Amino acid sequence: MDLKALLSLAFLVKALAVYTEREHPHIVFILADDLGYYDIGYHGSRIQTPVLDKLANQGIKLENYYVQPICTPTRSQLMSGRYQIHTGLQHKVIYPAQPLCLPTDEVTLAEKLREAGYATHMVGKWHLGHYQKSCLPTSRGFDTFFGFYNCAVGYYTYSKDTWFKGNESNQHVYGDDLWRNDVLVASKYKGKHKTRVLASEAQNIIMNHGKSRPLFLYLAFGAVHVPVQVPKKYEDMYRDIENKDRRQLLALTTLMDEAVGNVTAAMEEKGLWDDTILIFSSDNGAATSAGGSNWPLRGGKKAYFQGGIKVAGFVSSPLLPPHQHGSTNTELIHVSDWFPTLVRIAGGQLNGTKPLDGFDQWDTIRHNFPSPRKEILINIDPLSERDEYEETTHPWKNQNFDVYVNSGLIVGSWKLLTGHQDHAYWRSPPEIPSVQIQTFKFSQSKVLSLYNIESDPTEQVDLSECMPGVVYRMLEKLGAYNSSAVTPNFPDNDLEADPRRHGGAWGPWA
């Protein structure tokens, strides 16, 4: 390239940067719960999500975007920018009675944005631990919190039920879970739909926001997680779908879409939208047993297959370069990348954090530059279930990594899975009846599998036997990751958490 061409390219890059280098833009991060890859209009579903479709079509769709297969790990990596093997949250989610939370010595995204001068507000589902006050959102960088600490909180009751192990027997225990900062407010909102209540709270925050400070709003809907409950008028929009679970799931998604529209309308009414960057993401793939769909991807929630970890995500903003509006980005991006990316957008600093696993993806998103990320550690879970064939001889048993441990790794176009991999199915939504449901469990020969997710995005062809060199190199990488992992923290339930000891509420008890 000659000097003239180089100067022209430099001028173009500088000109494009004008659209996004405004100081301290407002940041709105919307996190859906269990929303499947297929369950958004722009992915070809018949679902009605006009607001999300419009935002995505005015922004940049992230089509090579990954999260974690379950709730707590995704939220922990969003807030910390660090893999769960480095925070001790490798195993399952945080349960209501566990004395466990995102380690309090982890610096959070909210803390960094507040340090950069932002007003920080959280509305919705926390699910990063609540056993002591130092674990709560307002102790982790948020100026205000309105929401719930657990998952699966009733949409009208604001009650969380769970099986709680008592002194003599297991008991089904209920507790209220809706808080304004540290005050229980569940009784005030009973009978009002949770999705609408959360959106209304977000609207109030926006309308009362003073323009002297930039705004960071983290809106974590409980939708579309079970128990799926939705007003009849939305369900009637899908009355032709016979499967009740699917019909209600689509209806709840449409209600959430409407709620997002109310929030963005408030941003426009307040005069904030033109200086706002909005990010939308799901926290994991759909629970297909509850009516969700990740079609045509394999697996679903809890799975290390694509259906559990590859989700709908996009960035929408008037600050994006005009030629990027409506574009698709296929660079590799992970949920942990939002930490350094948003801190950079905010004009903040990363000093004081532990070593991050996330990458600054802002140039990748706004200018479609190559992603600095070349691989994603899905997880290494040494507490995962081990099958009966554990002691049998496997060709990779004595290599760099224990292949009987549940793990997953993506490097470029290659994806390696080890251990007991459940949810190993392809399942079409009921509205596509011509496609047959296929299910099977891993057998002994499937304790290790290798897929080329570029040429085989639905993970149908295991290449581990014919590509031993790739397997060996990826096991070496897993071994290196494992050497940096901390011991999983997954304590037993604490009887002191019983909501009957705390006024009928799930809240801090330690």
Residue type, 68: Q
459-466: long-range contacts (C-beta < 8 A, 24 or more apart)? 459/297, 459/298, 459/299, 459/305, 459/306, 459/415, 460/298, 464/416
The answer to whether 440 and 425 have CB atoms below 8 angstroms apart is yes
Please provide the distance, in angstroms rounded to a whole number, between the alpha carbons at the two ends of the chain: 64
Within a 10 A sphere around the Cβ of 504, how many other Cβ atoms? 15
The Cβ-side half-sphere exposure at 253, using a 13 Å CA radius, reads 30
Token pair for 468: 């031993």
Q: Residue 157's Cα: distance from chain center in Å? A: 25
Query: Which among 143, 139, 136 is positioned nearest to 214, based on CA atoms?
Result: 143
Using the structure block, give the residue that is written with the tokens 């997710």: 453
The answer to whether 64 and 332 have CB atoms below 8 angstroms apart is yes
Catalytic residue, candidates 127, 130, 193, 225: 127
**Alpha-helical regions (H) of 116-243:** 186-189, 194-207, 232-235
The answer to whether 199 and 134 have CB atoms below 8 angstroms apart is no
Q: Is 466 a catalytic residue?
A: no
* Cis amide linkage into residue 227, ω under 30° from 0: yes
The answer to whether 163 and 172 have CB atoms below 8 angstroms apart is yes
Catalytic residue, candidates 26, 43, 71, 86: 71
Torsions phi, psi for 489 (to 5 deg): -110, 105
Can you say whether residue 170 is alpha, beta or left, with left for phi > 0 and alpha for psi between -120 and 50 degrees?
beta
| Rounded to 5°, angle at Cα 227 from 46 and 316 | 50
Q: How far apart are CA 21 and CA 133, in angstroms?
A: 37
Query: Which among 163, 164, 223, 156 is positioned nearest to 186, based on CA atoms?
Result: 156
Query: Which among 337, 252, 336, 240 is positioned nearest to 290, based on CA atoms?
Result: 252
Q: Which residues pair with 376 in a beta bridge?
A: 410
Q: Is 71 a catalytic residue?
A: yes
Question: Which residues have a Cβ under 8 Å from the Cβ of 48 and sit 6 or more positions away?
Answer: 41, 237, 250, 254, 257
Instruction: Supply the residues annotated as catalytic.
Output: 71, 127
